[in-house]
Amino acid sequence: MQSKKSIFYSLSFCFLILAACSGPNKTSATLLIYGGPIYTVDSTQAMVEAVATHGDTILFAGSFAEAEKFKGAQTQLIDLAGKTMTPGLIEGHGHFMGLGYNELNLDLMNTTSYQEIVDAVAEEVKKAAPGEWITGRGWHQSKWDSMPVNTVNGFQTHYKLSEISPDNPVYLSHASGHAGFANAKAMEIAGLEILSKDGVDKFEVEGGEVIRDELGTPTGVFNELATTLITKHIPESTPEKNSKAFELAVAACHRNGITGFHDAGIGKETIALYDEMKTADKMGIRLYAMLTGWDKDLLKEWYEKGPRIDPDNLFTIRSVKLNCDGALGSRGAWLLEEYTDRPGHFGHETLPMEFVKETALNGLQNGFQVCSHAIGDRANREILDRYEAAFTELPELTTDHRFRIEHAQHLHPDDIPRFAALGVIPAMQAVHMSSDRSWAIDRLGEKRIVEGAYMWQALLKSGIPIVNGTDVPVEPLNPIASFYASVSRKTLKGTPEGGYEPEQKMTREQALRSYTLDAAYGAFEEDIKGSIRVGKLADFTIYNQDIMKVDENQLLDTEIAMTIFDGNVVYTNTDSN
């Protein structure tokens, strides 16, 4: 059955097409794009020769001869000259302001050793005023070429960092965002001692862990909710810095061919910033936002007023993000069985499961999709159980809920078919497999990896779509890397030959859908974007080569040649050939 929104768009563009094709006053195209392979991700015609747009809308998609009929004196012609075009790519799970701030703060994404982190901070210390906080993100101990001599529970200790920054507090977020690394000055400001004056251990944090050595001394590593012991002392950002970070994030999206972005968890201040940016005509991206589940007052406020479906298709709020466990890299993912490389440890439940069910019920009753972060197999099972209980309690409200699990990275085999059975969408970032698989086996062991990790094809064959993405800034925003990981199951260095668990590879068609139409479906927006069809929004991504046909070993050479958003060219790669 067509949705009311779909019927509205269909009727509107029936009138538009009638006007376009009638007499001498027919509508002229704003853009006419032709001259290369155009993949539509549309079931009625998989490829077309040309696309014509009028304003922010697709006016025609079909043969070049037919498209030329829409050419007028003011029509801008874009000859692809052999380049390839698809619908605009949609980042299906990321952190938009994290993307912007990653360009402002210390970026540790490419560091390969603890010493590199120390050296990078040392350079920042030279530029910082005494007492000024130094913050950054991106380190990942499992991706280093070598580990330092002194480690505790697989993590470095703070002493070298504290030595080069005695007067500046330092806090460096793990690449996953689920752990952090602080120096002695930061811990001093936070008032952290081995024992508080009343003898109560201040390091016991429900849903988190302070890593300590055999003497009980903090090592500087804070896991999951324990990170707040430090982060609550970091000064808040300024409005000017927030605006700059937003603009940098928009520009980064355009450079990467991203026209839509599912923002996984925002609060009241960020909502106000986005409203401000939209009013100032600086949005430049289609944001589908999830309300942070940490703020119960915020959720109550939005339950009362209901979802915001933006008629301008720029900033929609209709979902809630729950953070239910940690990350595999920091051993925070919540597992059914203990970690292979840390016996007796099962990860962390970072949100009470009763709150998941409560939120699921509230979501169904108030029109909000629920999107729960779950990486470990126990977290995934527990969330599916709570969703199912809510669906059973309110069956009349479950017709088109589209609840999601964000990451769904490690599943028990028994839970794989439950996604399709319950209509729960897995939002999975393929590039995580590429980055994590080589060391994830140390955490889970071979049996759990083979039977339940990164199970893309098993989920797709069960009948449920996958929403792809990068979880930026956990990984770089680059969609080509995630597309490559989707179809190759290899690291970005091209190993191993044949890929990890190759039976779980996506086809190229599936991978493209996961970044376009299926991502749009995951946000209730498949009627307006995600494929090239008359009446949909004029968002396109253009590549320097044919990503659907080029040899796999050349896929990572793909560059974004042009990005078209809202019918306007917003990015052109002058170096692309």
Residue 51: which CATH number?
A: 2.30.40.10
Last residue in a domain, options 231, 256, 278: 231
CATH number reported for the structural domain that contains residue 495 in this entry: 3.20.20.140
136 lies in the same domain as 207: yes
Is residue 100 assigned to a domain? no
Which residues, at least 6 apart from 282, have a Cβ–Cβ distance to it below 8 Å? 246, 247, 250
The span from the CA of 457 to the CA of 195, in Å, is 50
304 lies in the same domain as 435: yes
The span from the CA of 139 to the CA of 570, in Å, is 32
Q: What's the pLDDT at 50?
A: 98
Is residue 102 assigned to a domain? no
3-class secondary-structure state, position 73: coil
Q: Could you give the dihedral angle defined by the CA atoms of residues 111, 117, 123 and 125, in that order, rounded to the nearest 10 degrees?
A: 150
412 lies in the same domain as 439: yes
Q: What's the pLDDT at 178?
A: 87
Q: What is the mean pLDDT of each run of 10 residues along the chain (577 residues)?
A: 45 47 68 98 97 98 97 97 98 96 87 94 93 92 89 93 95 90 94 53 76 90 92 91 96 98 98 98 97 97 98 98 94 97 95 98 98 98 98 97 98 98 98 96 97 98 98 95 98 97 98 98 98 98 98 98 98 84
Q: What's the pLDDT at 133?
A: 94
The span from the CA of 276 to the CA of 271, in Å, is 9
Q: What's the pLDDT at 313?
A: 98
Q: What angle do CA 137, 141, 146 make, to 5 degrees?
A: 130
Is residue 253 assigned to a domain? yes
Is residue 101 assigned to a domain? no
520 lies in the same domain as 540: no
574 lies in the same domain as 522: no
Which residues, at least 6 apart from 445, have a Cβ–Cβ distance to it below 8 Å? 340
502 lies in the same domain as 556: no
Is residue 82 assigned to a domain? yes
72 lies in the same domain as 119: no
Last residue in a domain, options 171, 198, 231: 231
Asked if residue 268 lies in contact with residue 295, where contact means CB atoms within 8 angstroms, the answer is: yes
CATH number reported for the structural domain that contains residue 209 in this entry: 3.10.310.70
Q: What's the pLDDT at 577?
A: 59
Cα of 339 vs its chain's centroid, Å = 26
The span from the CA of 142 to the CA of 435, in Å, is 10
Is residue 201 assigned to a domain? yes
43 lies in the same domain as 11: yes
Last residue in a domain, options 204, 231, 258: 231
Q: What's the pLDDT at 201?
A: 52
210 lies in the same domain as 321: no
Per the structure block, which two tokens stand in for 532? Answer: 């090239």
293 lies in the same domain as 215: no
Domain encompassing residue 487: 91-95+238-528
Burial of residue 129 (CB within 10 Å: 0-12, 13-18, 19+) is exposed
Q: What's the pLDDT at 434?
A: 96
279 lies in the same domain as 144: no
418 lies in the same domain as 269: yes
How many domains, in total, are found in the chain?
3
